[in-house]
């Protein structure tokens, strides 16, 4: 009987420490590599940075096109832009232009 009490007195705290250690280990593991852990946070930051760069490029492209459209819509059309569009639509070139045919 005395031996059982001593074994229980030693094994019960060891068992509780082991179980609590396993629970803490589980939560630490989930905090690091779970669906909402630190690794997922890093991946989301990288994805957000890439999307911000893509958005910046799209905004710059849109500004360029808005400028070109504004040149076409103004009261006085830009001569260079008009000439460029006319050459593209009619398939004509100026006598002084250098033409490079891309196969």
> What confidence score (pLDDT) does residue 1 get?
65
**pLDDT in the model for residue 87:** 82
pTM strictly above 0.75: no
- Distance from C-alpha of 93 to C-alpha of 90, rounded to nearest angstrom: 9
* pLDDT for the residue numbered 97: 78
Q: What pLDDT is recorded for position 60?
A: 97
Q: Residue 46 has what pLDDT? A: 97
Averaged over successive runs of 10 residues, the pLDDT of the chain (103 residues) comes to: 79 93 94 87 95 97 90 74 82 79 77
Task: Report in angstroms the alpha-carbon separations of 98 from 4, 84, 94, 101.
Answer: 102, 14, 9, 10
């Amino acid at each position: 009987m005395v031996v059982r009490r001593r074994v229980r007195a030693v094994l019960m705290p060891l068992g509780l420490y082991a179980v609590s250690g396993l629970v803490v280990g589980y939560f630490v593991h989930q905090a690091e590599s779970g669906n909402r852990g630190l690794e997922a946070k890093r991946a989301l930051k990288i994805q957000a940075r890439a999307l911000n760069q893509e958005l910046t490029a799209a905004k710059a492209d849109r500004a360029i096109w808005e400028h070109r459209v504004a040149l076409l819509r103004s009261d006085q059309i830009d001569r260079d832009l008009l000439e460029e569009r006319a050459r593209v639509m009619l398939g004509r070139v100026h006598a002084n232009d250098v033409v490079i045919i891309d196969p």
